[in-house]
Structure formats: C-alpha cells, structure tokens
Amino acid sequence: MNRIKRFTLVVLALGSAAVFAAKDSSFKIQNSVRVGYDDNVYQSGDNEQDTAFISDIANISGTLTFSDRSEMELYWQPEFRYRFDADPKMITYQDLYARLSHAVSQRTFLEISDRFRYQEKDGRSDLGQTYDQNFFENDLMGALDFTLNAQSQIKVGGGYEFRTWEDDAYGEWDPTIARSGNDYDQLKANGSFVRELNKGTTYGLVGVNYLDHEYDGARGGFNSTTLYGGVDQIFSPNLSGTAQLGYSFSSVDSSDGKVSNSEDTSSPFLQAGLDYKAAERTSINGSLGYSLSQSQNSIYNASDAFDVALGVRHDLTGKITLSSTLSYVFSLYDSAYSAWGLEDAEEDYIRFNVRGSYQINRNNFVDVGYEFSYRDSDSDFLQEYTRNRFDIGWRLRL
C-alpha cells in the first residue's frame, strides 16, 4: 500500500509541474450527480443485496501544449458514491490518465501514457468474499513510431502494469488461504510494420505482441508471444474495419504452493472490428476476438476467451441522444489453469446497457441509464448471478 501512496504523490507532483510548464492549455469540466437503484450490489448469487445510491462524478480533461512538437493530454474522473444499504456505505473511485506526445524528428514520434485507477471488482469474480474487493491499478506504456517513407511505418512499444487489491488477504499470496494471491505484475512489449497498400484506404500490417503476467507469490501466471498479420480498411467515408489473425505461443503456470504445473496453451489469435455511420445521426460499431486472456477470478490464472460486442448511438433530435452496448464473453477454463487443482469450467457473461441524454440548454443535461449483467457457469466455485441497475441524474458541462 505504501507503493500506491508514493506513486499517487509522484503523479500529483508531475501533473502540477506540467500545468505550470505548459505554454498553452485548454480544459473541459463536467460534473454529474446521479441517484439510482442496484438490485445486486455485490454481484453475488448467494448474497443478493439491493441498495439505493447517490453518486457525484467529476470529469476534467484537457490538453497542455509545451511547444510545436510536444503536448500532453490529461483526463481525471473521480467518483464519490454513497450506498444506503451496502458495506462500506461511502466509496471513492479514481480514474486518472495522462499521455505525452513528442515529435523527436520529422520521422520519429514518441508517446508515453499512464493510467491509474481505483475501481471495484469486475463482474466475473468468484465465490470469495464479496465485500471490500476494490483494487488499485496502474498501466504505464511507451511507444515509438518510425516513418520509413510515405507508405511504411515501424511501431515499437512496451509497458508495465500492476494491480494491488485493497483487501490484503485477497491480494497477497498465502498457500493456506484459498483464492489468495490476486495481486499481479504484467510486462508488455509489441512491434509492428505497417504498409499502405492502397492510398488512403488499405493498410497491411504484421507484428508481434509479448505479454508476461505474474500473480503474487507462488500462484503462477501466464505468458504469450503472438505473431499476427492484419489489415485496416476504409471501405467508404461511412464504413471502416480492421482485422488481425495470428497464432499465440503461450503457456500457463499454476501452483498451490506445493505442486507446480506448466501447460502449453498455444492457440490461434483473432481480433476484428467494424465502424459504420449508418446515417447522419446514427453510428454502429462492433468487435469480436479470441485469445488467451487474463482471468477475472481468483480460481484460474487464465482463460481461453471468445468475446463479441455491439454498440449503437442515435441522435433522436438535436437535444435527445440514445446510446447502447451489448457484450458477450465466453470463457473456457482448463483445469491446468487453476492454482487450486479444480476441474475444467465454462462461463457465459453478458452485459447490456442503455443511456439517454436530454440537453436542457448549452450547459445542462438530464441523463438516465440502465445496466443489466448476467453470469452463468458450470463451476461450483464461480459466481452465478443477475444484476439490474438504474440511475437518473443531472450533468453540468462547463
């Protein structure tokens, strides 16, 4: 926890220094106050606790310009939420992001980004404790883009991510406590070659991604090296898509503190996406993927995951906007992925949300939202539940 406090102080100090050092800056500020109802606040099948809540969400975003070559984007979103019938009643969440872009030369571009979050657990947890499962997470990334000529680019990057759970018994490794060791460190690296195949419309790419994910203590983790090829295509001014297909050479390590196991999990890799502007006021986007992924529970160290998502946005009038997303994730857990020697398991996870916004005037909006979550599993150790959440609120934009 001391590492988190030191890091937070460093981030605040660097952010303050950057603001004073900038030659020019512009910021946008929003604040939303919401009241709502959650019928399963702990995302549990056995302990379904409903509660009303009030939240205040601030959003500050801006750009700092240091020179003709350098600028920084900043984003900060704190949330203060009071839950009338949950424990703890008062929770504060944080989401802080910064990205520095610098033109080293006419052909070389540097980008460094960092995102710090304090958030609640994902909806795909396990049957461990349902209280106080919030985490600190930081994701530091760096990238260099080299322009070889008018048609070709080389991109390289790397990063380090860590997650620390607020509940030490859940986060730190203890072989005598089941479902412990959920803190993790993750190293990432990537490289790609991009070539313009058809001027302004078609771009081909080949690349490699490396990931090393290690949980706390002797629990284990997984690593993968993915080789892939892909294409980015602009079909028309209203339709664009991207696709990547490859193969991941990967392995999952697991241990209960006494017996260790390593399993070869090499498999195909797929990512694809589509953006379509169906009409002047309507946009649609979709994505699908298949890969070895980080597990979102404390039972298994990884999962073979297939995911698909669809999003729609429509402006009914100049003042009324509707948006909706639907996502589905199918996860397959091999017994060799389990740190506790459990059997194979399957999981279905569905999330649907819809939001509407009415603009009263230039600065004031009324927002209303609904979110549905559903999780089903054939394992006795993974949560099965449904969750409904409603909210209505007032948003001020400055």
Beta-carbon contacts of 110 under 8 Å, excluding residues fewer than 6 positions away, are 100, 101, 102, 103, 104, 142, 143, 144
The dihedral sign for the CA sequence 215, 386, 41, 33? positive
Written as one letter, the residue type at 169 is A
Nearest in space to 84 (alpha carbons), one of 36, 145, 130: 36
Say whether 108 sits in a helix, a strand or coil: strand
- Count CA within 13 A, CB hemisphere, residue 175: 12
CB contact at 8 A, 284 and 312: yes
User: CA–CA separation, 225 vs 248, rounded Å?
Assistant: 6
Query: What's the pLDDT score for residue 339?
Result: 76
Domain, as residue range, for 37 = 2-397
The phi-psi region of residue 281 (left if phi > 0; otherwise alpha if psi is between -120 and 50; otherwise beta) is alpha
Number of folded domains that form the chain: 1
Alpha-carbon span 62 to 75, nearest angstrom: 7
Query: Contact at 8 Å (CB) between 47 and 130?
Result: yes
Query: Which residue's structure tokens are 């906007």?
Result: 321
Residues 298/301/304/306 CA torsion (nearest 10 deg)? 40
Beta strand extents in the chain (DSSP E only):
24-38, 51-65, 70-76, 79-83, 90-103, 108-120, 134-147, 152-165, 184-198, 202-215, 220-236, 239-255, 260-264, 267-279, 282-294, 302-315, 320-333, 345-359, 364-377, 385-397
Q: What is the pLDDT of residue 298?
A: 83
Average pLDDT for runs of 10 along the chain of length 398: 56 58 83 97 85 97 92 96 92 94 95 94 61 83 96 97 90 83 95 96 98 92 96 97 97 73 90 96 97 88 96 96 98 87 91 98 97 92 90 96
Q: Give the CATH number for residue 203.
A: 2.40.160
Question: For residue 322, what pLDDT is reported?
Answer: 98
SS3 track for 122-158 = CCCCECCCCCCCEEEEEEEEEEEEEECCCCEEEEEEE
**Tokens read off for 314:** 């429509």
* Unique residue bearing structure tokens 């603009």: 359
The span from the CA of 73 to the CA of 64, in Å, is 6
- Paired strand residues for 273: 242, 287
CA angle 291, 296, 302 (to 5 degrees): 45
What confidence score (pLDDT) does residue 53 get? 98
Contacts of 277 (CB under 8 A, 6+ apart): 237, 238, 239, 283, 284
Q: According to the model, what pLDDT value does residue 180 have?
A: 84
pLDDT at 125: 63
The whole-model pTM stands at 0.90
Q: Give me the DSSP letters along 174-186.
A: -TTSTT----EEE
Residue 333 has what pLDDT?
Answer: 93
Handedness of CA 120, 75, 275, 198 (dihedral sign): negative
* CA diameter of the chain: 64
Distance CA 379, CA 344 (A): 8
Q: Are strands 70-76 and 90-103 parallel, antiparallel or unpaired?
A: antiparallel
Measured CA to CA, the distance from residue 122 to residue 107 in angstroms comes to 41
Q: Please, what is the Cα angle at 255 between 251 and 260, to 5 degrees?
A: 75
